[in-house]
Amino acid sequence: MPVVSLEGITKAYEDKVAVNNLSFSIEPGQMFGLLGPNGSGKTSSIRMMIGMTYPDAGTVRLFDRPVARESLNHVGYLPEERGLYKKMKVLDQLVFMGCLHGLATAESEKRAVAWAKRMEISAALDKKTQELSKGMQQKIQFIAALMHDPELIIMDEPFSGLDPVNATLLQDTLLELKAQGKAILFSTHRMDQVEKLCDSICLINRGQALLKGNLREIKSRYERNRVIVEFEGSAAFLESAEVAEAKNYSGHAEIKLKPQGDAQKLLREAAAGAKIYRFELVEPSLEEIFIETVGGRADA
């Protein structure tokens, strides 16, 4: 049974159709990436999932029921920009959010303290939010979205403002939650993170789904015509007749072959003038698929 499912939802504001006949669903234990350029309809879709706005057409089902206020106690939402009371102390803020999600005050405080320890912000519990760095505030927002142990976790750009160490901390936490069977929806522009974390994606543009399904399956639809080369010596092979595009980052090259380009021939040409440490034929990255798909539609 899907945790959340969107069935042909459409939402328009004035003349602008924000979401157009969009359908997808997220199962328990699934990490789902909702991707799309700015203004593509990601936030509008999320707002309908959490009952903030209603679709003009189609249905949203949460825990196999139409969206109801009570169901939202099982949803954790982290918005793209910080939504915290600046003058409120961190612990008070977390307890307040926990209580709003149906926890008793004592339980809410207990969980807030435990989560703060886990996220390494115990020292900040007694401070006002406005006294903290952007990264710290992001962690507080993260805890506020999770402390009531939701079954569906919606994260809009969760890693923004975080340094690599803290980003890894959050990432590991999300993977743990996924292992516990929580359904997680990511809305992000960071394709590398989606590629690393998500099982399934839905790529939308102008409110419509352009690509959706299992990430591995989607990537396998694309020809393995990308080559990553690590080398020392002449870079003349990047001018080869087999190469359509190439980026050279001093000893690390990313190459896109021409439609009928021969990788073996390119390898021979490269080896003739340089010492090759790595020569790997790969499928296109999600970022390339994103640019190609969205760019192709934009041109159309």
Partner 1 sequence: MHNIFLIAKREYFEQIRGRAFRISTILVPLLIACLIGANYFAAARMGAGKHIAIAAADARLAEDVRQRLLDDKDAKLTVDVVTPASEADQAALLGKIKAKELDGVLTIGEAVDGAPALTYASESSADLVNTRWLKTAVKLGLAEGRLRAGGMSADQVNGLLENVKIEPLHLGKDGKTAKSEGMSPVYKANVLLILIIIPITLYGMDMARAIVEEKSSRIFEVMLSVARPIDLLTGKLLGVGAVGLTQVAIWGLAMTIFLGSTLAASVMTGDFAVHISVAEVALLPVYFLLAFFLYSALFSGLGATCETAQDLQMYVPLIIVPMYLSMAALAVCMNSPGSPWAIAASLFPLTAGFVMVPRMGLETVPLWQIAASIAIMLLSIWGTMWFSSRLYRVGILMYGKRATLPEIWRWLRYS
Q: How many CB atoms lie within 10 A of CB 232?
A: 9
User: In terms of CB distance, is 61 or 148 closer to partner 1?
Assistant: 148
Question: Which positions touch partner 1 (CB under 8 A)?
Answer: 13-14, 47, 50-54, 69, 72-73, 75, 77, 79-88, 96-97, 99-102, 141, 144
> Least separation, in Å, of the C-beta of 50 and partner 1?
5
* Distance in angstroms (rounded) separating the CA atoms of residues 120 and 114: 10
User: In terms of CB distance, is 73 or 171 closer to partner 1?
Assistant: 73
The two beta strands, 152-156 and 75-78, are: parallel
Please, are residues 238 and 69 in contact by the beta-carbon 8 Å criterion?
no
User: In terms of CB distance, is 130 or 220 closer to partner 1?
Assistant: 130
> Least separation, in Å, of the C-beta of 125 and partner 1?
17
User: In terms of CB distance, is 75 or 210 closer to partner 1?
Assistant: 75
Answer left, alpha or beta for residue 120, where phi above 0 means left and psi between -120 and 50 means alpha: left
* Distance in angstroms (rounded) separating the CA atoms of residues 80 and 16: 22
> Least separation, in Å, of the C-beta of 96 and partner 1?
6
User: Position of tokens 């203004």?
Assistant: 39
User: In terms of CB distance, is 67 or 253 closer to partner 1?
Assistant: 67
> Least separation, in Å, of the C-beta of 140 and partner 1?
11
> Least separation, in Å, of the C-beta of 92 and partner 1?
8
Cα 202 from chain centre: 10
